[in-house]
Amino acid sequence: MATDTWLIAGLGNPGTRYRHTRHNIGHMVLEELLKRMGAEYTRTKVGARAVGAQLGQGGPKVLFAISEGYMNHSGKPVRALLDYFSVDPAQLVVVHDEVDLDFGRIKIKRGGSEGGHNGLKSITQHLGGDRDYIRVRAGVGRPTGRMATADYVLQKFSAQQQEELPALIDQCADAVELILTEGMTAAQNKVH
């Protein structure tokens, strides 16, 4: 792979305990993208599962990856993959849960603060403070009452949200594909 390659990182935690939690929506979106391409992950030597592909006939080269470690340590494998495959951090797309968006909303942005998201903080730290990567923010909403945000994102979606979750995952996967094929501005115009 060369410098025209994109890295799509889906954030989440490993293991069945976290598989269907709000914090793992990044993993779910990447699973959908791989399903669309008929591809499967392989293990890497940098603590991530990844697969390289070309998006459509003549489309961009893409590396899809999820960390095998916990969310708070996402930065190390992302940095290692960027370095190994010579991917410019400006061509990094991170798919993650976003408590500051209502459930079902999606926002695409480049750069900005991490908003308390430890996975994003880890990535920014391992990029030497560079925040100029693209984020696909999947809205999971905020907890009600006195529940701590950290506890909320580690819970499964509500019954109603579980019914709507497939559509959200599809829309996030569509957003990633739009970024790759039409560019970030066009993707924002269609998604927002």
- The Cα–Cα gap between 31 and 123 comes to 21
Would residue 171 count as lying in a domain? Answer: yes
Angle, helices 184-191/159-182, rounded to nearest 10 degrees: 150
Q: Is 118 annotated as a binding residue?
A: yes
| 101 Cβ contact partners less than 8 Å away, ≥ 6 residues apart | 107, 137, 138, 139, 140, 141
Give yes or no for a contact between 78 and 123, defined as CB atoms under 8 angstroms apart. Answer: yes
Would residue 160 count as lying in a domain? Answer: yes
- The Cα–Cα gap between 75 and 123 comes to 4
Would residue 132 count as lying in a domain? Answer: yes
Residues 105-121: pLDDT tens digits?
999 999 999 988 999 99
Predicted confidence (pLDDT) at residue 97 exceeds the cutoff of 60: yes
pLDDT band, very low/low/confident/very high, at 53 (cuts 50, 70, 90): confident
Predicted confidence (pLDDT) at residue 13 exceeds the cutoff of 60: yes
Answer yes or no: 73 catalytic. Answer: no
pLDDT band, very low/low/confident/very high, at 58 (cuts 50, 70, 90): confident
pLDDT at 3: 56
Would residue 117 count as lying in a domain? Answer: yes
Would residue 1 count as lying in a domain? Answer: no
Would residue 85 count as lying in a domain? Answer: yes
Q: What percent of the chain has pLDDT over 90?
A: 85
- Closest listed residue to residue 63, CA positions, set 126, 5, 143, 124: 5
pLDDT at 2: 46
Residues 24-35: pLDDT tens digits?
999 999 999 999
Catalytic residue among 23, 27, 117, 126: 23
Give yes or no for a contact between 18 and 156, defined as CB atoms under 8 angstroms apart. Answer: no
Q: Is 24 annotated as a binding residue?
A: no
Q: Is 41 annotated as a binding residue?
A: no
Neighbours of 7 (CB within 10 A): 23
Q: Is 72 annotated as a binding residue?
A: yes
Please count the structural domains in the chain: 1
pLDDT at 54: 82
Mean pLDDT for the chain overall:
93
Q: How far is CA 76 from each of CA 85, 95, 120, rounded to the nearest angstrom? A: 14, 16, 11
Edge-to-edge strand list for the sheet holding 42-43 = 42-43, 48-54, 61-67, 6-10, 92-98, 134-139, 106-110
Helix (H, G, I), strand (E, B) or coil at 26: helix
pLDDT band, very low/low/confident/very high, at 1 (cuts 50, 70, 90): very low
Would residue 113 count as lying in a domain? Answer: yes
pLDDT band, very low/low/confident/very high, at 95 (cuts 50, 70, 90): very high
Q: What is the mean pLDDT of residues 89-112?
A: 97
User: Whole domain around residue 75: which residue ranges?
Assistant: 6-191
pLDDT at 115: 87
Give yes or no for a contact between 53 and 62, defined as CB atoms under 8 angstroms apart. Answer: yes
* CATH code, domain with 85: 3.40.50.1470
- The Cα–Cα gap between 38 and 55 comes to 12
Q: What percent of the chain has pLDDT over 70?
A: 98
Would residue 83 count as lying in a domain? Answer: yes
Residues 139-159: pLDDT tens digits?
999 998 899 999 999 999 999
